[in-house]
Amino acid sequence: MTALPTVIVLAAGKGERFKASGGTQDKLQSLLCGQAVREHVLAAVRTSGLACHVVERADTAHLPNPGMGDSIACGVAATPDAVGWLILPADLPLIQVSTLLKVAMALSDHRVVVPRYRGQQGHPVGFGIGCRAALSHLTGDHGARSVLAQHEAYCVEVDDEGCVLDVDTVDTLALVEIRIKDRGIQNGGVN
């Protein structure tokens, strides 16, 4: 059996757009159907069975102005035995387990994998072991764009709005809550 990548959950951001939109607390701790936003993401990762490492603010606090790139580098450094990584922001509470697994499986044949929902690229972005050095040197707010630019990404088509619908504002938090409630009704109350 092929070794599977590790999910790096990015939970170190400041959530400034969320606060600017009227949010009164950390967006990842905001309640969504009775559970914190980040807990929805972590539940999907746990259900997938993939190894996981969460990058928290404390992990990047020693840096002068840490951004997403710093968080990714921190996560890669903390997982030296990983055979690849799925970079997953912790503000995507609708992410489906099937999307995580599709990206993970595609990494066995491709160096970089991106899920695509209705023509829009989403998360998690998968990076194979050959990207370790480049990911380890990331800094700033641009995430892994520079690494993506160096490789032709393989796109995996998914039927998962959750790979593109992030909780960046109080309005998107409300929208996501509606989506969860709609799914619960459609699925007989099971989310």
Q: Is the pLDDT of residue 189 over 50?
A: no
**Sorting pLDDT into bands at 50, 70 and 90, what band is 1?**
low
**What is the rounded distance in angstroms from the CA atom of residue 34 to the CA atom of residue 153?**
37
Beta bridge partners of 56: 11
- Percent of the chain at pLDDT > 90 equals 75
pTM confidence score: 0.92
Phi/psi of residue 131, each to 5°?
-95, 0
Mean pLDDT (the chain, rounded): 92
Cα distance between residue 78 and residue 28, in whole Å: 22
Report which of 83, 86, 90 is spatially closest to residue 102, judged by C-alpha positions: 86
Higher pLDDT, 1 or 3: 3
Q: Residue 162 has what pLDDT?
A: 96
DSSP code at position 141: S
| Average confidence (pLDDT) over 83-99 | 97
Task: Count Cα atoms within 13 angstroms, Cβ side, for 169.
Answer: 5
- The pairing of strands 84-89 and 51-56 is unpaired
Give the start-to-end residue ranges of the domains of the chain: 6-181
Tens-place pLDDT, residues 19-68:
899 988 899 999 999 999 999 999 999 999 999 999 999 898 888 889 99
* DSSP bridge pairs for 54: 9
Strand 6-11 relative to strand 51-56, pairing: parallel
> Position of tokens 């995507």?
92
**How sure is the predictor about 178, in pLDDT bands with cuts at 50, 70 and 90?**
very high
Please count the other Cβ atoms lying within 10 Å of the Cβ belonging to residue 183. 13
Q: Are 36 and 102 in contact (CB under 8 A)?
A: no
CA distance 102 to 149: 22
Q: In CATH, which of 3.10.20.30, 3.90.550.10, 3.90.660.10, 3.50.50.60 is domain 6-181?
A: 3.90.550.10
